[in-house]
Amino acid sequence: MIVLCEKCWFVICWSVCQVSRLLLLAGANPNELTESLNGAPALCIAAREGHVDLVSLYLEFGADVNSCDDSDVPALSYAARRGHVNVIYLLTIKHAKVLYYSMMFS
């Protein structure tokens, strides 16, 4: 197991955000489905991991706040499942639907 110091983790997260911004500026689709988390878009992955800056960036570039993976689990559910309150707040102020039923909670 690799343990990163808080400073190192900040640098890694900052770098991912900067690279993502450059890709989005170059025309990358913020709603593109990935091969992770059952075909989830990048917004769901960022929400699941609690990356507020990345979630904000994807929304800034037009990501669908209600985007879901192949199992219809939205980004808001991923954030809620892991208790990422700041991500939940950001998604809800951007009008994420809060009435989704998710099998992950049953």
Indicate which CATH number applies to the domain containing 59: 1.25.40.20
Q: Rounded to whole angstroms, what are the CA distances from 14 to 42, 75, 95, 105? A: 16, 21, 26, 31
Q: What is the pLDDT of residue 44?
A: 94
pLDDT tens-place string over residues 8-25 = 444 455 577 888 888 889
Phi and psi angles of residue 78, each rounded to the nearest 5 degrees, phi first: -60, -45
Domain count, the chain: 1
* pLDDT digit string, tens, across residues 39-69: 899 999 999 999 999 999 999 999 999 999 9
Identify whether 1 is part of a domain: no
> Whole domain around residue 95: which residue ranges?
6-105
